[in-house]
Structure formats: structure tokens, C-alpha cells
């Protein structure tokens, strides 16, 4: 007998974990399969007339609450799309913005969100060039949903590609993980947490540009760990490959508040979203130059090596625990924190 996941959409289908991957692979990819979509990267790479290469991405943001420590839905929408372009090495040149507004949303809140989008887009130096607005009746959505799409130009230096990843390569994270997801969770009124934790929400284009210019041939692969967090991103890297990933529990950076909240709530911070961090695989010989380039940028000052590529177990992610054991880091099957991005 089939279960609910075969008959209807569940919150877990939006988690970024195993059920999301199944939905994307078995339904969407099966229906829309083409060479640009098939890699399922954060942004599609497309060659247009004249040999110009562009990256194109889209994302929809449904965070709750829409205002949270360190950001808001508007900032999140711009950063999320810019970052999807940045991690494939693209320079963003244009964004779109589509709004679904619930009847009863205050003009004050909408104005704050739009102003935040404008500030963030100005910071990036990329215009919002087109958009759309729909209004739905009360109860048909939660105040406001935003879709943003982005176009970027692909010019060297660029990541060399996942197919160039080899055992011995290092896995760098550009700062402490899970800040965004835990800050959004703590901001939810019904939980009553008192914390100074803020979202890491930030545009990564300049940080990534600094890295690629500083290490023009040593960067293999990059991804921003949003839905599903660090653990899921590493599994996407290793899945079906002739290599695995090993990370070290003591060397995986989480703030003390994130660890404490995760323990209280029974959550695994490995699977909690970031919105201003990148996971980067670099050639072993390029590690020090990569860290130097990242540390020179305000958004990369806390970058660390969190793991490395291994030959065995191929296709898997493992963690060396603080007590000397080994733990398999699997793709989560369900939803830990709904509506955080």
C-alpha cells in the first residue's frame, strides 16, 4: 500500500532532503529533462549566440516569520538568487521579482520588504529589471511569497567542475554553519527563545569573486548550503561519485548558541540552512591561498577547512566524531525546520 508521500505533497518535500530529491528527480527532471537542467546545480549554464555563456537561476522564498534577526524576506530573496549565481562563478547582471501578496498584508510591511530588496540589490550592484504581482484572498498564502530569478555572466576564472574533484582535495566552509535557520526558528513567537543569534544572510558574489581571482585554477566546486544544510550539500557532492567526503566533528564550525539550541530542540545542525555561506572544494595545493583570499574578505574571515575528499567510502559522507568514532552523514528523509528559506 502506498503512503502519503505517494499521494500528496508533504512539508518534507520542501526540506531539501531525500523527499525533495525524489520529487525533483522522479517528477520534474523526468518531465523537463535537458542538458542545462540535468546537472541540477544552483544555476544552469547556458551558451547563447556569439559564444557568450550565462548562468540562469530562480528561487521562491516563503520564510516565516518574514522579519527575523539579521534579515527579512526581501533581503533573503535577493541574497539567495545572487548566491546561486555566485557559486557557479557567475557575475550577476539582472534580477526579476515576483510577488504573491495575501489580502490583509499591511502596506507598511510590504514597503519595508521592498526597501530591503532595493538596498540589497544596490549593495550587489545588480538591478531588478522585471517582475510581477499577484494578490490572493485571505488564507491563500502566508502574508507574502517572493520569487526571484537571476542572470549572470560566466567568464574565467571559474570552478573547474565536480568532475575534477579528487581524493585529497579539501572542503572549506566560509563561516559558521546553521546561523540562518536557527535564527529564524528562534524568532518564531511560539517558541519564546531569547538569543542574540542572527541570520548569516548575505550576498556572496564579491567573496566568491575574490576567491576565484586569488586561486584561478584551484577551485573545483562550490555550493551554498541552503535547504538541507551542510550535510545534504555534501551528500549531493558525493552521490554516485568515485569518491566520498570525510568531515571532522570538532572542525565543523557551529556557534555555541547554535549547538545549544540544536541540543535543546533535538535538531542536527548539519541539516540546518545557511543563507550567507559557501561550501568550497579546492585542490590540496591551493588550500592556503584559498584561505588567505577568503580571510581577506569580511564575509570570509571565519573560513575553515572542515573536511576532505576521500577514496573510500565512495559516494558517501562520513564524520569523525569527537569521541573517535565514525558516523555516516545521510540525506535526511523528513523536514526539521519548515519555512526557513
Reference 99, options 128, 125, 123, 79; nearest CA is: 128
**Average predicted confidence (pLDDT) for the chain:** 93
Residue 2's pLDDT band (cuts 50, 70, 90)? low
Taking the C-alpha atoms of residue 239 and residue 242, their distance in angstroms, rounded to an integer, is: 9
Taking the C-alpha atoms of residue 95 and residue 253, their distance in angstroms, rounded to an integer, is: 32
Query: What is the pLDDT at residue 332?
Result: 78
* Secondary structure (H, E, C), 288-324: HHHHHHHHCCHHHCCCEEEEEEECCCCCCEEEECCCC
Reference 190, options 301, 265, 300, 293; nearest CA is: 265
Classify residue 46 as exposed, middle or buried by CB count within 10 Å of its CB (0-12, 13-18, 19+). Answer: middle
Query: What is the pLDDT at residue 219?
Result: 98
Query: What is the pLDDT at residue 192?
Result: 67
Residue 137's pLDDT band (cuts 50, 70, 90)? very high
Place of cell 527563545: 193
Instruction: For residue 26, report the phi and psi dihedrals to the nearest 5 degrees.
Output: -80, -25
For the segment 228-254, what is each residue's pLDDT rounded down to a tens digit?
A: 999 999 999 999 999 999 999 999 999
For the segment 19-42, what is each residue's pLDDT rounded down to a tens digit?
A: 888 898 999 999 999 999 999 899
For the segment 168-204, what is each residue's pLDDT rounded down to a tens digit?
A: 999 999 999 999 999 999 888 666 677 889 999 999 9
Instruction: Identify the helix (H) or strand (E) that includes residue 182.
Output: helix 179-187
Sorted by sequence, the CB contacts under 8 Å of residue 298 that are 6+ apart come out as none
Specify whether the CB–CB gap between 93 and 78 falls below 8 A.
Answer: no
Q: Does position 274 have pLDDT exceeding 60, yes or no?
A: yes
Domains of the chain: 41-153 (3.30.1330.10), 162-328 (3.90.650.10)
Amino acid at each position: 500500500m502506498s503512503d502519503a508521500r505517494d499521494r500528496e505533497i508533504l512539508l518534507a518535500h520542501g526540506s531539501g532532503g531525500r523527499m525533495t530529491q525524489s520529487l525533483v528527480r522522479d517528477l520534474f527532471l523526468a518531465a523537463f529533462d535537458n542538458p542545462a537542467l540535468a546537472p541540477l546545480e544552483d544555476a544552469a549554464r547556458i551558451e547563447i549566440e556569439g559564444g557568450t555563456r550565462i548562468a540562469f537561476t530562480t528561487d521562491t522564498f516563503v520564510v516565516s516569520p518574514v522579519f527575523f534577526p539579521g534579515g527579512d524576506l526581501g533581503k533573503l530573496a535577493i541574497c539567495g538568487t545572487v548566491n546561486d549565481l555566485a557559486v557557479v562563478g557567475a557575475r550577476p547582471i539582472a534580477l526579476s521579482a515576483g510577488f504573491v501578496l495575501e489580502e490583509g498584508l499591511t502596506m507598511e510591511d510590504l514597503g519595508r520588504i521592498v526597501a530591503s530588496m532595493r538596498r540589497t540589490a544596490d549593495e550587489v550592484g545588480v538591478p531588478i529589471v522585471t517582475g510581477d504581482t499577484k494578490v490572493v484572498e485571505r488564507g491563500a498564502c502566508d502574508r507574502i511569497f517572493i520569487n526571484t530569478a537571476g542572470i549572470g555572466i560566466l567568464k574565467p576564472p571559474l570552478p573547474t567542475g565536480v568532475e575534477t574533484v579528487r581524493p585529497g582535495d579539501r572542503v572549506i566552509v566560509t563561516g559558521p554553519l546553521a546561523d540562518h535557520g536557527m535564527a529564524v526558528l528562534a524568532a518564531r513567537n511560539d517558541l519564546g527563545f531569547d538569543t542574540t543569534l542572527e541570520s548569516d544572510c548575505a550576498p556572496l558574489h564579491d567573496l566568491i569573486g575574490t576567491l576565484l581571482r586569488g586561486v584561478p585554477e584551484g577551485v573545483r566546486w562550490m555550493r551554498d548550503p541552503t535547504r538541507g544544510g551542510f550535510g545534504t550539500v555534501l551528500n549531493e557532492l558525493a552521490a554516485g561519485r568515485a569518491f566520498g567526503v570525510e568531515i571532522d566533528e570538532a572542525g565543523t564550525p557551529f556557534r555555541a548558541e547554535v549547538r545549544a539550541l540544536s541540543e535543546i530542540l533535538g535538531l542536527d545542525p548539519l541539516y540546518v540552512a545557511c543563507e550567507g555561506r559557501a561550501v568550497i572544494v579546492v585542490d590540496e595545493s591551493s588550500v592556503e591561498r584559498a584561505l588567505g583570499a577568503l580571510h581577506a574578505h569580511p564575509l570570509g574571515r571565519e573560513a575553515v577547512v572542515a573536511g576532505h575528499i576521500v577514496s573510500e567510502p565512495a559516494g558517501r559522507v562520513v564524520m569523525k566524531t569527537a569521541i573517535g568514532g565514525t558516523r555516516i552523514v545521510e540525506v535526511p528523509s523528513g523536514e526539521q525546520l519548515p519555512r526557513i528559506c
